[in-house]
Structure formats: structure tokens, C-alpha cells
Amino acid sequence: MSAKLIRGTEIRDEILKEIKGEVDRIKEEHGVVPGLVTILVGENPASVSYVTSKIRTAQSLGYKEVQDSQPEDIKEEDLLSLIDKYNKDDSIHGILVQLPLPKQIDEKKVLNTIDPDKDVDGFHPVNVGRLMIGGGEVKFPPCTPAGIQELIVRSGVETEGAEVVVVGRSNIVGKPIANILLQKAPGANATVTVAHTRTKDLAYHCKRADILVVAAGVPGLVKPEWIKPGACVIDVGVNRVGEKISEKTGKKIAILKGDVDFDKAKEIAGYITPVPGGVGPMTITMLMKNTLNSLKFHLGIA
């Protein structure tokens, strides 16, 4: 293997340690801790598992963590009033509503009801606009793209002047990571191209990328011969391609593959993220960082 493996699990641990240090210091100096509420509607198993990880991480960092579970048939107006209650609660700095929501609820209305200054997921239109403006305006960059930037920067990959190609233009990954990396700021200042299903020659664009971020959700979409030798390859894709029995638990687990043919790509790239264990661990980590930053904004010490 020639590429350096970018291990999301190691970078996650490094960032969580930094966050814990700051939480302890702020608690000592200001007598407060970050407060995060996770609102879970219904019992979708994937959502339950994701929310459980968020709660565990928040608790391990010493956050005030409120888990608010609501029934599947909650009325939209009741959910909106609940969010409003947390908007007004000074001990809560981050509000997270786990998606997807049941059919009777308008997701957009729910996300737009969260106070933009507590929107630690960064999905409220105000925070999307703040990211677009850039500089000091940015409060809560969306968690997965913010995590991707950390992976790149902490691995020592130069972004300034780099040709970045992002495959995918979703609102949660493609567009925000493109936006983050083109900011006039350290860890950014890149020249960014965004490709999608209507892009005429995807191979051509991938081949000229110094940093290639692939977030398409198509297993093996990026062929090894499309990778520029020495490039940094960030594979965001998480695709379930089968099942296997876990050696640890003896239970059935999903076989996950990325959007890049990892085994061949690692012989050409300079840096590469594995799937799983690359981008995945960064999302909750950056949610914790956004919640800490929300408290710091609140205290005027950001």
C-alpha cells in the first residue's frame, strides 16, 4: 500500500480530547457546560442507534444531554411547540431533531423552527447562508463536511491552491464541503469543481483532482485509473453491499463499501480514507464541536 491511511477514528479521538479539555476549563471558569437536546420521534432502529451514539459521546464529554423521545404519531404543532420550549431554554445550546420524521410532519417546517443560534446540525437556511457568506459569519458548518475538512487538514494535506473535485451536490455533503474548501481561510483557499450526474466527463474531472471528495452513494463509482497519483481521496460513500456474521458478536452485520475501489485506489493515491472508519466517525464529533462553540458564542468567548 502506498497511500497514507486517514483514520477517522484516530482523528475523532484527538478532537474529542481537545473538546473535553475545553469543556472542563469552561466549567471551571464559567460554571456552565454545553447543553444538547436530541429529539427522537418514533423508534426507527437506525435513528435510535444514531441517537444513542450521540448521547453517549455527549455524556462522555460532560455535556448536559437531554434525550427527548416522542411518539411516532406526535402532531406537527406539538413538535414545533417542543422545539420552541428548547429555543427558550438557556441551559440548551444545541437542538437536534433526528431525521427522518414521520409522514404527518413537514421536515422543512421543523428545521426552520429551530433557533439558528442553536442549530448545531447547520441545516437552517440562516446557517446555510452564513456558510455561503463565509469568514466570521460562519457559526455551525454542517457536521459531515466540517469533519471532512478536519480529516484533510489534520493529515497535513495542503488545501491552498489545490484542485478539489467534489462528486455529489447534496445539501448535506457535496454543496457544503465545496463551500467550506473554497472559503478565503486557512485549511481552505482551494479551487473547487462540483460534479454530479449531468457532468459530461466525470473521469476527466476526477483525474485532475489533488483532493477528490466522493459523496455519490454509488459503490465503486470512482475507478482507480481516475485517481491522480499522490492525490488525497476522501470517500464519503456508505453503501450496504451485503451481510456477514460479526466475529465479535456473532450477529449479522452489513458489509459496507465506499464510492471508491479502495483496494486498488490505495496503490495510487497519496492519502485515502477507509470505509468504514474514515469520514463516518467525524459527524458526531463535529456535532459535539458545534455544540461547544454554541456555548462559547453564548458566553462571548468564541
Q: How far is CA 7 from the centre of its chain?
A: 15
Catalytic residue among 13, 17, 24, 54: 54
Count of beta carbons in the 10 Å neighbourhood of residue 108 = 10
Catalytic residue among 118, 119, 121, 259: 121
**CA nearest neighbour of 147 among 278, 45, 291, 294:** 278
Q: Which is nearer to ligand NAP, 159 or 283 (CB)?
A: 283
Smallest gap from residue 283 Cβ to ligand NAP (A): 4
Count of beta carbons in the 10 Å neighbourhood of residue 156 = 9
Residue 117: active-site member = no
Residue 15, CB half-sphere, CA atoms under 13 Å: how many? 26
Q: Is 219 in the site for ligand NAP (CB under 6 A)?
A: no
Residue 121: active-site member = yes
C-alpha distances in angstroms, 293 versus 59, 91, 139, 159, 297?
A: 17, 14, 8, 24, 6
Q: Which is nearer to ligand NAP, 198 or 251 (CB)?
A: 198
Q: Which segment (101-109, 126-134, 194-202, 264-272) binds ligand NAP by CB under 6 A?
A: 194-202
Q: Which is nearer to ligand NAP, 97 or 172 (CB)?
A: 172
Q: Which segment (32-40, 164-172, 241-249, 289-297) binds ligand NAP by CB under 6 A?
A: 164-172
Q: Is 167 in the site for ligand NAP (CB under 6 A)?
A: yes
Q: Is 11 in the site for ligand NAP (CB under 6 A)?
A: no
Q: Is 59 in the site for ligand NAP (CB under 6 A)?
A: no
With beta carbons less than 8 A apart as the criterion, state whether 76 and 82 touch.
Answer: no
Answer for which of 2, 91, 197, 246 binds ligand NAP (CB under 6 A) is 197
Order of strands across the sheet that contains 211-214: 4-5, 271-272, 232-235, 211-214, 163-167, 191-195
Q: Which residues contact 215 (CB under 8 A, 6 or more apart)?
A: 166, 167, 168, 170, 173, 174, 177, 236, 237, 259
d(CA 280, CA 277): 6
Residue 67: active-site member = no
Smallest gap from residue 81 Cβ to ligand NAP (A): 30
Report how many residues bind ligand NAP under the rule CB under 6 A. 26
Q: Is 98 in the site for ligand NAP (CB under 6 A)?
A: no
Let me know how long the chain is: 302
- Pinpoint the alpha helices (H) of 45-114: 45-60, 76-87, 107-113
Site for ligand NAP, residues 229 to 268, rule: CB under 6 A = 236-239
Q: Which residues bind ligand NAP (CB under 6 A)?
A: 144, 167-170, 172-174, 195-199, 202, 215-218, 221, 236-239, 279-280, 283
Q: What are the catalytic residues?
A: 54, 98, 121
